[in-house]
Structure 1
């Protein structure tokens, strides 16, 4: 008898663990792992992104705010001591789940760029999964602190345990399986953060010029130059591809008519090798060859390795440009 009492005590908490919040936590972790493991065009990745972005975080937060079930119209609290947390029904929970998720996602997108994570698909998925799991566990605490008669529950395992008896083998086995599922979800989340799956890297190209104080600033390149006059430009290349990369920058003068490039003139090429996680920058001079009075576009076309026979803004890995007018003086 003492052994059966000990077994009952051991699994008492797990048997009453909210089934919906366990499913939400596991679903969020699995969605994060799939988003980081599959490419952007994969159908499975898109399938799991929808609930992660549109429902799971909001539903977890709703569970924190409303741990109690919907109050029946006949139930009234005669005194303040009889008052309990306000509850809502399943339909309201689902609706609020969508609404709150739509509020959480933009907030995450705004905050991620100022953190060390950066704004990538993997970082957004990680942030949403973390918010979902943390909020779900807070929701578990809130529900378990609510009296049984007033607690919101959609747990089939708890219902089965009550039907078969507290000491039934079926209820105990279900509790063990739920423990394993919860442990797997938490462990997978930790592994995902400590040993993240490669989600693809990126390369960033930027142009700077010096101000009057000698500081590098963006967007301050001259808009007018004289014939034969050179423009000093600082070219910056950041490599976040996961390994060392060899880059070629094609500096191209383009004549634009009606939004189309009608003439291209290659002014120079810049070759460099950048280590992973590093940024290479250097000042180069660009001398337009246009006739006086002509306005041209100076495009910086970045390629990994050798560029194609005809470099264009469309086939470049990264591109940036500025406009300049060659004056008559």
Structure 2
């Protein structure tokens, strides 16, 4: 028996909503991967095809599937391009909302257009249909099916590779000094010889790996003190108040803050202040 679903586009919306829920709950299971592939590779194009061709005689099943995958591959980059020029940019939540909005709007347009034609002419998705088999297809359908299968497999594999490969951006370490008031400015320029002067030293690890840092304070080429090693994972931040002092009154004293990475002998980062000791 051949069954038909009158409003299959409702399922498109439900799948998109389920993906939104999985993203919000940070679900990283295979279910989210399947929902994501459907929402990116199939649903936007299928909703667009349904809006463009509401009658069942407009396209056959193979043509609808081919156009659905093909148009999805076209629509998604266009949405990403447009998002790139918005304040939100290209990030998971804006992309998810854009896909959900596009699929919902196109689905609503398709349902509206179907409502304007006689019921007997409306496209209805069959739950089961007779598969003619590859040998029973014409050469055009064979070529179309082969190209479609290849495009879907290539795109799905590319998306899986991107999703499975850790994203590594620019690797660097933030190394900074804050004034006694905790500001990136107003640094001490006049200090009292023999008295301790305090600043805040900060490190942020953006190296995409755990790093062991060490630091030194050097005054006019003389090692003032070594700071205890600081072990930070990627994304971790460390701030601590440190002190230094000049031995005797002197103008234009160079106070250097040297950062070392994983016990290396050469400084990885360096900062300095010029002060007058009175």
**TM-score scaled by structure 2?**
0.50
CA distance in 2, matches of 1:307, 1:221: 29
The answer to whether the aligner puts 1:288 opposite 2:240 as a matched pair is no
CA distance in 1, matches of 2:273, 2:84: 34
Partner of 1:325: 276
Taking a change above 3 Å as real, the CA distance of residues 197 and 295 of structure 1, as seen in their structure-2 partners, is: same
CA distance in 1, matches of 2:261, 2:249: 32
Is contact 1:246–1:271 with CA below 8 Å preserved after alignment?
A: no
CA distance in 2, matches of 1:300, 1:226: 19
Partner of 1:276: 233
SS of the residue corresponding to residue 155 of structure 2 reads: helix
Match of 1:14 among 65, 89, 94: 65
Q: CA deviation at 1:202?
A: 3.2
SS of the residue corresponding to residue 171 of structure 1 reads: helix
Partner of 1:250: 216
Match of 2:188 among 212, 219, 222: 222
Structure 2 residue runs without a partner (length 5+):
3-55, 114-136
Deviations 1:20-48 (A, max 9, x none): 873686xxxxxxxxxxxxxxxxxxxxxxx
Partner of 2:162: 192
CA distance in 2, matches of 1:196, 1:14: 32
Cα root mean square deviation, aligned: 4.6
Taking a change above 3 Å as real, the CA distance of residues 17 and 248 of structure 1, as seen in their structure-2 partners, is: same
Partner of 2:40: none
SS of the residue corresponding to residue 263 of structure 2 reads: coil
Taking a change above 3 Å as real, the CA distance of residues 176 and 238 of structure 1, as seen in their structure-2 partners, is: same
The answer to whether the aligner puts 1:267 opposite 2:224 as a matched pair is yes
Taking a change above 3 Å as real, the CA distance of residues 20 and 319 of structure 1, as seen in their structure-2 partners, is: farther
Number of residues paired by the alignment? 195
CA distance in 2, matches of 1:106, 1:9: 38
CA distance in 1, matches of 2:215, 2:231: 13
Is contact 2:249–2:276 with CA below 8 Å preserved after alignment?
A: no
Q: CA deviation at 1:236?
A: 2.2
Is contact 2:192–2:246 with CA below 8 Å preserved after alignment?
A: no
CA distance in 2, matches of 1:24, 1:252: 58
SS of the residue corresponding to residue 145 of structure 2 reads: helix
Superposition pairs of residues 32-43 of structure 1, within 5 angstroms: none
Is contact 2:178–2:187 with CA below 8 Å preserved after alignment?
A: yes
**TM-score scaled by structure 1?**
0.44
